[in-house]
Chains A and B, each alone.
Chain A
Amino acid sequence: MSRQTSRLDAKKVNSELLTLTYGALVCQMLKEQENSDDVNKQLERIGYNMGVRLIEDFLARTSSNRCLEMRETADKLQQAFRLYLNMQPTVTSWSSAGDEFSLVWDQCPLSEWVEMPNNGLKYCALIPGAIRGALQMVQLDVQCWFVQDQLKGDAVTELRVKYIKRLEDAVPAGED
């Protein structure tokens, strides 16, 4: 049968479905919340929740060791991007203290087929959220924000990651 030859590629379909589902979610949020800052915050939190669970999968799959400095962390992040989104962001613009770097990419599966309204929405806010959540689970407190965004007309998308502090093991508040 001719249909047998035109089988769909499951991996591709899944990836497209993720993109479209994410798009539908963002649309839905924009309809329910007028303020796009609120949407950014919600997306960031959704990303955070995903990151918290994603790190387990990452550690189980890659069996990587603890990172001793930010350069190793940057490598791992790059590896995670390759593993989960099949993209290869470059790590650049290290600060002299070595506690701040940029991830730069020019194509992201999440932002395929997206046209942006001009209202301050950060479409990919999921990603910095996920990074923050994942790194928090390995006791790294970081800050992530977009410096450039392709969807806003920049040539590339640049995500800045800044090391804040190491989280120490401590007795949770109220349990002493």
Chain B
Amino acid sequence: MADNGDDDSQYRIKQGDYVVLKRENIFKAVQIQPKKKVIFEKQWFFLDGAVGHFYSTTFEIVSGALQLQKLKNTDSFTDAKEAGTDNRNIVDDGKSQKLTRDDIEDLKEKGLEGQEIIQHLIDNSSTFKDKTEYAQDKYIKKKKKKYENTVMIVRPSCRILAMMYHGREPGKICHLRYDTLAQMLTLANIHAGSKVLVFDTCAGLVLGAIMERMGGYGSVIQMYPGGEPVRAGTESFGFPAHFHDMLHGFPICRVNALLAGTLDTTAKDPSTDVKQSNMAAEDGRQQPEAEQPEAEQQDSPQEKSMETSSGADGGHDREKEEKEKRREAKAQERLVKLEEKRKKLAAAAALLEGRNADGLVIASRFHPCPVLMGLLPFLAPSRPFVVYSQYKEPLIECYNKLKEHGGAVSLRLTDTWLRHYQVLPNRTHPLLLMSGGGGYLLSGTTVATDRAKPAGSQRAEEPAPKRLKLTDTEG
């Protein structure tokens, strides 16, 4: 209890935080912004009231505003614990509820809390007292779901976001179920300090999960299709700024060039950054020489134009110059952006070039086979890889291709079943509904290929029959 305030401040909801709204098992990721209206479970409200409160606080929605929940409602319904033993005398005549639809609407209009409305419903139900204890529980639960107006604000985590995406938008994450994602992180031995390759078209959820497990230590190279990587899901994690220093992007359309050694990360105007030039020097295929003059040039046009604009007197001239200035600034901005992009590409290429990555994770809507075969060469030997696919057949193809190609051992094609249980006194059983499928995984470990192995003499000594025999047993 002796924690100081400083320690606690990180547990409070702040302006700009990425948070997750929660009610029962329904989640929604949002960012806390002033006067931001959100709609969650058919109710709209502003998030401003949450700022300053602790995470995992439950709020009540009172006419569009969030207020601290006054009372913790844990089975405070019906003081008289009266219950029937069976339903032999309960008849469905459609008249057991004495409140009409209009009455209920009235109660809602009056701004009654969900809990109070439920109490009214119970009081006006003629059959409630005859229901069994279990049926009463079930009734209350159902009504709660309908009338409750509370929302909990929780801190985002891989667990919560993976469950959220699976519940809300499974299509966006190729139906990757959260237990499958959990297997991926473990099978790929994701941990702080390693260098991980990711190909993720699951909204960036897999990328975020990997970044969370690496805690800002090491590096992640996201291989992406198209013009820009998709990272909406990654953003929802709300990682601190320094986590982004470890994140690199590399367009998958440049992989062939990189593998062939023909990738040209040298732009027309060479690097301006000292650190970058060091990296470029190591790279050996860039020209960092002309960096200083370029840097000066980059800054100067703006200054120049400012001087001229302040010195100009003719209105016409001025307008013209303003236009010129704007155009120049825009061009300049574009140049800077291009330069940024080029630098990032060069940095990612430098990381890949060592071909010594520590892990590979693929989870995409693309055919996994070419992706796997194209990215596997970037892995060091004795490193794990894992490929996700919503369908089993393409992974069978990957498996056969790897067997043929070599360079990997302990290949396994798996999937997991996830079963949830209701655990209540005398009412414990598996939940009636379970997820039909959470996708399939192919995992394995890279090994040195014969070609890459310098000690050729050893191989020559091998008697052929033994080798064949062993190949058979290899998994």
Whether both chains belong to one complex is answered with no
Seen from chain A, the residues whose Cβ lies within 8 Å of a Cβ on chain B are: none
